[in-house]
């Protein structure tokens, strides 16, 4: 009897080709699209979870003669992802909604749907790999061979107990053109569909307007200051600034200035020189370890402090409910709210957490 797989389908080329590959590997495939967000009348529709995405996914499933389901996850998405996004910005942190979506929806609610349908596995079109590790004697999450597209940074919060029931069909592919070629060879209607790059519930990327509309996060003007407290000008609301920002701060100075900190208590934007952006240490909370239950003693590994950052050598220390990370070399613009993700020398994800 064929093993049954519930495949998350966004209507894009990656998840569509994943369906083809799973069929070729002998699985019984069921396509499933999660309805996550309903845009307002004056908003663009998301490319990955709107009505067009559902339509494209259904068309591909029809082509491949596999069943397709749509599940309504809008309430949970709003609670776990959107409301969290709004809260984090109100606390002057920069959230990563993709991490929360993967944690609570794509490998949470979706996993439960798979159990309802008596599926043996779930699958998505992420660029990542699941393998059994002899070193750790368990299934592990590992970086994709497609280094530029690797998405393990967004996947560190997957519960370790689910790994053996997850398939990433694209894990052996090394470039996007191969994926599009497979789509063309199988006459998939989405072969030339553009990749979605934006936050799915903010397709125009205007997050300030989104926060004002849904979070009632009005501009609250305050000071722009140096670290010594010297006032240089007025800021236009903390949501308009990010750590490391240089352009658009709205002040002139004798040398280029960058945003160093967003001080919620004082409603201040702290600025300084680029050199002051660098630091060797951070603390993190909400830790999810994949290869062990908890951190008992310091470990040396590599870490990324944002998706596009390079991995850097560090030592991780247990610190109660949090961890302390000390890097070998200074890191630029460590940002509260973003994730820090840890890797071993072979690209296996050890775990990760949210930067404080």
Catalytic amino acids? 101, 200
Q: What are φ and ψ of residue 135, in 5° steps?
A: -65, -45
Please say whether the beta carbons of 61 and 68 come within 8 A.
yes
Q: Quickly list H helices, 83-175.
A: 83-90, 97-101, 110-116
Sign of torsion over alpha carbons 99, 104, 109, 114: positive
The whole-angstrom separation of Cα 129 and Cα 152 is: 8
Q: Beta strand pairing status for 68-72 and 28-35?
A: parallel
- Provide the 3-class DSSP secondary structure of residue 298: coil
Rounded Cα distance between 50 and 88, Å, is 25
- For residue 3, the SS3 value is coil
Task: Using alpha carbons only, give the angle 166, 171, 177 rounded to the nearest 5 degrees.
Answer: 135
DSSP state letter for 348: B
């Amino acid at each position: 009897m064929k093993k049954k797989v519930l495949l998350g389908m966004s209507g894009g080329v990656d998840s569509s080709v994943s369906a083809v590959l799973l069929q070729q590997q002998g699985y019984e495939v069921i396509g499933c699209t999660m309805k996550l967000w309903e845009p307002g009348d004056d908003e663009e529709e998301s490319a990955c979870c709107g009505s067009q995405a559902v339509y494209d996914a259904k068309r591909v499933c029809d082509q491949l003669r596999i069943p397709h389901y749509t599940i309504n996850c809008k309430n949970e998405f709003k609670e776990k992802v959107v409301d969290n996004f709004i809260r984090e910005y109100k606390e002057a942190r920069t959230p990563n909604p993709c991490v929360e979506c993967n944690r609570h929806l794509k490998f949470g609610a979706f996993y439960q749907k798979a159990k309802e349908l008596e599926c043996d596995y779930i699958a998505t079109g992420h660029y990542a790999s699941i393998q059994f590790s002899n070193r750790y004697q368990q299934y592990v999450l590992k970086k994709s061979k497609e280094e530029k597209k690797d998405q393990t940074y967004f996947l560190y919060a997957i519960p370790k107990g689910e790994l053996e029931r997850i398939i990433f069909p694209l894990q052996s592919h090394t470039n996007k053109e191969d994926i599009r070629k497979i789509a063309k060879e199988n006459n998939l209607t989405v072969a030339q569909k553009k990749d979605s790059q934006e936050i799915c519930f903010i397709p125009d990327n205007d997050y300030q307007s989104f926060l004002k509309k849904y979070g009632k996060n009005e501009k609250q003007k305050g000071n722009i200051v140096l670290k010594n407290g010297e006032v240089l000008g007025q800021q236009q609301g903390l949501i308009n600034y990010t750590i490391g920002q240089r352009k658009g701060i709205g002040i002139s100075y004798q040398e280029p200035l960058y945003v160093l900190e967003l001080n919620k208590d004082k409603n201040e934007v702290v600025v300084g020189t680029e050199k002051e952006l660098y630091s060797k240490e951070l603390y993190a909370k909400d830790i999810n370890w994949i290869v062990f239950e908890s951190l008992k003693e310091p470990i040396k590994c590599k870490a990324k402090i944002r998706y596009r950052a390079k991995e850097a050598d560090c030592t991780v220390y247990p610190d109660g409910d949090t961890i302390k990370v000390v890097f070998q070399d200074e890191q630029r613009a460590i940002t509260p709210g973003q994730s820090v993700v840890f890797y071993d020398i072979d690209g296996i994800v050890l775990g990760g957490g949210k930067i404080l």
